[in-house]
Structure 1
């Protein structure tokens, strides 16, 4: 799209480092939309009331104990939940050592979250295993624990979850040591070279296992035969295991409780997918990067419970895509970087066609998707004429038209989609006239005009969007006069008016009444240190970007100290 105001596609947007994922907005990496595993390590939580709130008496006591940890030799006489909180606090503050760990021997802790914690080794396992039958979950990811240390967990008979990712010190012999942990329901060995086909025999007796993660285990071809008896298995992740072939899928075809199967970047073909026909509870299937074509849809259509399907970077074309009509319960379909121009998915709720070679006529196949809520058309060849096929999608809530050839005239065709809540028009072809066309979309809560050519005149149309919570106008056409049209959007929590080089301190004064703002970006403007005083009423502001302005980090820090205690991210810094 060119131009200094267009967002670069290969760089993160830094104006809001605290932004959470918004419903219906897809990330640029399709794989990121699929389930990821989390560590058992407890998250650091703010006290009730948010930053600046007074901690409870219990929290103060725990912090004091952690500060004076060297004074205590044992916590075994304390209530279990209190010992657990002290342990968690030490881990979160990176204060747990060989010496302080000893104080937790025989404390009946339930959760040991040491994933990626430094210097965890075999000598720690004696204390960890002393929790005995009370221990329910252990995360030793990235540790130096070896077979000898793993063997000590044999006495923790009630262990339900074991995470041992990125560990290079265990062997197949060590895996056999966990075969007696019959109560395990979750087991994760991501990127472990120790796990081969023979080593997987250790899993055959874990009959209560519901979740197994072997992502990036490079040599497990032939090992699925040891999973045949795991009839309770619901989730299996073998992403990026190139050794996995069609014959492996035959071995798990009888695991009828499976509801999630992650096979991305495996050596799977259409023939292998045919083995999955009997998995009638399967809801999520990830085939990203596999060697499958449209022919696999014949088998996939037999998966009557399937709701999420990822075929990103597969070898699909128009041929065979009529089989999509059999996927009656499908809710999310990702087809990025494919040439898909024919799909009949009457139950589809979310469709991602990002970077597909779909054009105006291809959109004709979407006319029957009456319950579609989320549609991603970014970086496609869809133009103004093609939008006529969307006019009947009355339930559409989120629409992304960024980096498409759509022009102002085309927006008339979606002006009747009054259910829209999020609309992305990050395109250099959109101008003031286009914004005037969509003023009927009064339910919008998110409007992205990042690279659009919007001037002060066009900004007057913003008065129709009283429900906006997020707004981006960065095309360079705004002055202080245009910002006057933003000051009454009192529900805004995120505002990006960067790249508008003629904005002055007056703009900050105009938006000083937007007290719900959490994130503000006014970088690349004429704002100075003097204008910072106008931000004092914005007590909820957490992220502030004034890069390439006449503003210094020291003055922002002073503002933070004097009036904005919730500000956690700012630039310049």
Structure 2
């Protein structure tokens, strides 16, 4: 089947229709054309009336209003549509009026859709569910005068739509959000980076089935907006980062007892909000990154005993705050990036035996403090970039047999430090950006057969060192930038790493002549060769002939 679909993909111009095929097969063909970026407005015509269920066109170039007629021809079979990044306009949405079973719509980055299209879309979905004469029949059976607004309210509950996303849209306003009031079966709503929706959350008050609401990066959101969410007792996930929300706004959330995820990154809240948060019995994930909390009031953390994930990055907290984290024994992830903590503070986390992820980047933690991590045997990911750790300190991590990801972006790390990690054979991600690794040190990489991501940047590698990397056949990402002595020979050596999805060898001595060695890397999607003797045209030629998956490259 896969071979047949690949052959159809290559000869797509020979087919005029797939409507006679079983739906599951035509769906597979459609998906393959989208994935390979071979779907065009011409080849799309072959899928007219195929009764497809899912049209995910978010990665497809050239999508505009002219595509909508074929999309709408799927009729009642159509369950989900993703038009992210397309040029579809308000007018194009009219075509969806017959797709009455739609459950999910994604219009992320569609900047030509406005309030007008939003209202048209909602009314079309609602009115078409029971036929074109639904409003007429409704009026006939009503014993009282009724206007369009009342009619709209009376048919609440008829829509099947459960998921709607409008990320990064400058045209949707608070007034336009009135259309959402009719979508009473909505479970997921995403309005991330929609700067005009301030004051519009009042229209969400009746969406009692809503479980997930994303209004991140909407600086227009204030405490008054959040008050309208207080009755949405089914909310499980709420993301309000980078808004004007304060402790007052947080107080309106105290009745949301099903809330398990709360993202407050960048909001001007203080530790005083912890009193409200402690009443949220289901809270498991809390993001207070960049909220600049201080030690004052941090004793409130001790009440959040069910937390699994806590992000306190870029806060002004010190070791004094970590004392209040000792009882959070359910924590699996703790982010202390850029906090004012040091070696002594880490003594307070030795009892957090369930920790899987720990971020200590850009802190005052040094080699001495790493002894407190040696007993956290469930750790899978540790970030120690921009800390004062040395090769000697790394040896204290050698017993963390569950470790899969390690970030050691520190200038003090040398070949000796890499040698101390050879027992960690389960590593899949290793970041040595800025470390002083030489060709000799790369010998130790042979122990890490499971590596999927490797970054050794700014070291002293030559082609000889790359010989020890060429057999890491599981690699998906390889970053060897800033190693200025690498030549085209390195490209030849890694040509066997056919699983590679991303490759960065910037600031090296690679030239256009070496690009031929990349032809076997058919899975490559990202290629960065900045400050090399390679031009954008050279890469485009390679892309057109041998690397069809390549979607991002530099120079461009």
Matched, 1:286 2:229: no
Paired residues, number: 510
Which residue of structure 2 aligns with residue 29 of structure 1? Answer: none
Is the contact made by 1:553 and 1:572 (CA closer than 8 Å) also made in structure 2? yes
Q: Give 2:13's match in structure 1, choosing from 53, 59, 67.
A: 67
Q: How far 1:210 moved relative to its partner?
A: 0.8
Q: Which residue of 1 aligns with 2:123?
A: 177
Of 385, 389, 396, the residue aligned with 1:413 is 396
Contact 2:94 2:121 in 1 (8 A): no
Q: After superposition, what is the alpha-carbon deviation per residue over 1:65-124, rounded to whole angstroms, capped at 9, x for unaligned?
A: x5257xx6x876665556666777887546326xx8788766544445566865744x87
Contact 1:471–1:492 (Cα < 8 Å) also in 2: yes
The answer for the alignment partner of 1:6 in structure 2 is none
Give the secondary structure class of the aligned counterpart of 1:187: strand
Higher relative contact order (CA 8 A, sep 6+): 1
Moved more, 78-87 or 401-410: 78-87
**Bigger share in helix:** 2
Distance 2:209 2:484 in 1: 60
Structure 2 residues not aligned, in runs of 5+: 128-157
- Where do residues 139-218 of structure 1 align in structure 2 (5 Å cutoff)? 139=82, 142-143=86-87, 145-146=89-90, 150=93, 153-164=96-107, 165-171=110-116, 174=120, 177-178=123-124, 179-180=126-127, 182-192=159-169, 195-218=172-195
Q: Which residue of 2 aligns with 1:321?
A: 298
Does the CA contact (< 8 Å) of 1:234 and 1:260 recur in 2? yes
1:358 aligns with 2:338: no
C-alpha distance in structure 1 between counterparts of 2:484 and 2:289, whole Å: 39
Q: Structure 1 residues 449, 61: CA separation in 2 closer, same or farther (over 3 Å shift)?
A: closer
Q: Distance in 2 between matches of 1:526 and 1:207?
A: 60
Tell me the residue number matched to 1:21. none
Q: 2:76 aligned with 1:133, yes or no?
A: yes
Aligned partners of 2:499 and 2:446: how far apart in 1?
A: 17
Match of 1:38 in 2: none
CA contact (8 A) 1:307 1:331 kept: yes
In the alignment, the residues of structure 2 paired with residue 229 and residue 311 of structure 1 have an alpha-carbon distance, to the nearest angstrom, of 29
In 2: Cα distance, 1:248 partner to 1:390 partner: 43
Q: Give the alignment partner of residue 409 of structure 2, picking from 426, 431, 435.
A: 426
Q: What CA distance in whole angstroms lies between the structure 1 residues aligned with 2:463 and 2:20?
A: 65
Cα distance in structure 1, aligned partners of 2:548 and 2:88: 39
Q: Is the 8 A contact 1:224 1:248 kept in 2?
A: yes
Q: What's the counterpart of residue 230 of structure 2?
A: 253
Indicate conservation of the 8 Å contact 1:238/1:263, yes or no: yes
Contact 1:515/1:537, CA 8 A, preserved across alignment? no
2:221 to 244, 269, 274: 244
| Residues 177 and 567 of structure 1: CA distance in aligned 2, closer, same or farther (over 3 Å) | closer
SS at 1:281 equivalent: coil
SS of residue paired to 1:276? coil
Q: Which residue of 1 aligns with 2:375?
A: 392
Structure 1: unaligned runs, 5 residues or longer? 1-46, 49-54
* CA distance in 2 between partners of 1:119 and 1:455 (Å): 48
Query: Per the alignment, do residues 138 and 362 of structure 1 end up closer, same or farther by CA in structure 2, a change over 3 Å counting?
Result: same
* Structural RMSD (CA): 4.6
Q: In the alignment, is the contact (CA less than 8 A) between 2:507 and 2:530 conserved in 1? A: yes
